[in-house]
Structure 1
């Protein structure tokens, strides 16, 4: 990674750390309590993993995943779960993509693909239908959003695809982002979503390799070289995911900030609208307009 990329990564990390801390300070006491309960949960989960050992836990998860895969409508259960986490503020899309590969192997890609396309389309339609009046009232008062809408309206499908494959905003917020932009049509959003299929395949592949290492029987029949190869594929897949996500994000931001069709001010406001979307979120903010 180049020094420039490292500096950019550190800057983004500091920005989101500061943003997270400021949000925490604004939370009600119950909200802060919930955050600490979540932290306590992860601490307890870490202790549990240490006590029970990763091998026993991974075997348990593998057995449950195989039981789900052998269920007649197990694939439908996962699809419904994917649809549900496509609606904000729920999260877990990437985890479910891993589960598709963990339970079904590479065949799980089709489950993840169908669930992702369906879930994102349902979320797009539902959010736009429920909040269309609120969106119009909000967007007329926000310069960043007006800039983003004008940029998307002018550039069309090509820019929509670029933003869609970018890792920021994440899956669930990306769905609400496009539902918030009136210039984006449903067919454009669905077409753009097809371009994240390579990412879904990669997540499914990582899940399938994790399953092979989690099952004691399969692991027992592997020699050291095969185990190392599977572990390397998992780690390599994760590294590829992180690297490509970061690269795409920088390309998208650079493209938006350097469009010659608009003034530099409009380009900057449009880029900031995407960066700060989860903070401002016109369809998710509790503030009424």
Structure 2
């Protein structure tokens, strides 16, 4: 039930994210699909976990099992793919809490590093064109350039899709060390779906402490995500006059 509340609350965040970027229809579609899958997972989680038990047991029993979710997390770090939350929840179902979080952290960091350098060396020209043609992209790029590490960290904690943010981070001459530090410090965000998966284990059904912790991490996650997204949107709104003026001057100079 608490997972369902968390997911429904997250749908409001998806709507806010879609408003940040052009291509909102794509974000709405992807968000709606993921939301539907997660709701089904929440309602039918006992049946799903029982059905997945042969696969999760196989992953747990094999030494190389952790490499599979790590590889999946790396692959889905590239747009337009998505589904980190599902992989992270399955990790929580499969392994102990420390092991699951370590696996997820490795997959996220490796995926973000690959994403960063792919965009930096292969997509810079396209990103610059998008910055000139799409106001929302230009606003976020401006906020990242002028805001420093704090802005990067806030974006990482917000509901802005990581691959969308990483595409900007990698093409605005950001230091890799700054980017990597923000990725590491924002890893606690991934703890929520991992813990939700862990709490769904049949062995934890009657664990009152596990249930209380689940409520706390969900409420905290929703609060932090909404606050960070609201702060980023305010920064973008504040930067809008300067960005629009600069774009107008650039067009006049042609």
Distance in 2, matches of 1:100 and 1:195, equals: 20
- Provide closer, same or farther for how the CA distance between residues 147 and 241 of structure 1 changes in structure 2, counting only shifts above 3 A: closer
Query: Out of 164, 183, 193, which is 1:193 matched to?
Result: 183
Write the mapping of 1:201-220 to structure 2, written as runs, cut at 5 A. Answer: 201-211=191-201, 213=202, 218=203
Q: Are positions 1:74 and 2:50 aligned together?
A: no
| Equivalence for 1:238 | 218
Offset at 1:12? Answer: 8.2
Q: Are positions 1:60 and 2:40 aligned together?
A: no
* Larger-gyration structure (1/2): 1
Tell me, what secondary structure is at the counterpart of 2:94?
Answer: helix
Q: TM-score, normalised by structure 1?
A: 0.64
Q: Are positions 1:250 and 2:241 aligned together?
A: no
Contact conserved, 2:143 with 2:235, CA < 8 A, in 1?
no
Q: Are positions 1:129 and 2:129 aligned together?
A: no
Distance in 2, matches of 1:22 and 1:127, equals: 21
Tell me, what secondary structure is at the counterpart of 1:74?
Answer: coil
Offset at 1:235? Answer: 4.5
- Provide closer, same or farther for how the CA distance between residues 72 and 182 of structure 1 changes in structure 2, counting only shifts above 3 A: same
Tell me, what secondary structure is at the counterpart of 1:90?
Answer: coil
- Provide closer, same or farther for how the CA distance between residues 56 and 206 of structure 1 changes in structure 2, counting only shifts above 3 A: closer
Tell me, what secondary structure is at the counterpart of 2:123?
Answer: helix
| Equivalence for 2:77 | 86
Structure 2 residues without counterparts, runs of 5 or longer: 1-10, 246-254
- Provide closer, same or farther for how the CA distance between residues 66 and 135 of structure 1 changes in structure 2, counting only shifts above 3 A: same
Pairwise CA RMSD: 4.0
| Equivalence for 1:282 | none
Tell me, what secondary structure is at the counterpart of 1:247?
Answer: helix
Tell me, what secondary structure is at the counterpart of 1:118?
Answer: helix
Structure 1 residues without counterparts, runs of 5 or longer: 1-8, 25-31, 33-37, 270-289
| Equivalence for 2:242 | 266
Offset at 1:113? Answer: 0.8
| Equivalence for 2:106 | 114
Tell me, what secondary structure is at the counterpart of 2:95?
Answer: helix
Greater than 6 Å deviation, 4+ residue runs: 9-12, 19-22
Contact conserved, 2:141 with 2:168, CA < 8 A, in 1?
no
Query: Which whole-Å deviations, capped at 9, do the CAs of 1:26-66 have from their partners, x for residues lacking one?
Result: xxxxxx9xxxxx79x97xx96xx99xx76443222234212
Distance in 2, matches of 1:93 and 1:193, equals: 15
Matched pairs, number: 228
- Provide closer, same or farther for how the CA distance between residues 147 and 55 of structure 1 changes in structure 2, counting only shifts above 3 A: closer
Q: TM-score, normalised by structure 2?
A: 0.71
Tell me, what secondary structure is at the counterpart of 2:63?
Answer: coil
- Larger mean CA deviation between 116-125 and 192-201 belongs to 192-201
Q: Are positions 1:164 and 2:164 aligned together?
A: no
- Provide closer, same or farther for how the CA distance between residues 99 and 174 of structure 1 changes in structure 2, counting only shifts above 3 A: farther
- Provide closer, same or farther for how the CA distance between residues 267 and 187 of structure 1 changes in structure 2, counting only shifts above 3 A: same
Distance in 2, matches of 1:200 and 1:71, equals: 24
Query: Which whole-Å deviations, capped at 9, do the CAs of 1:119-140 have from their partners, x for residues lacking one?
Result: 0010111122222222334434
| Equivalence for 2:164 | 173
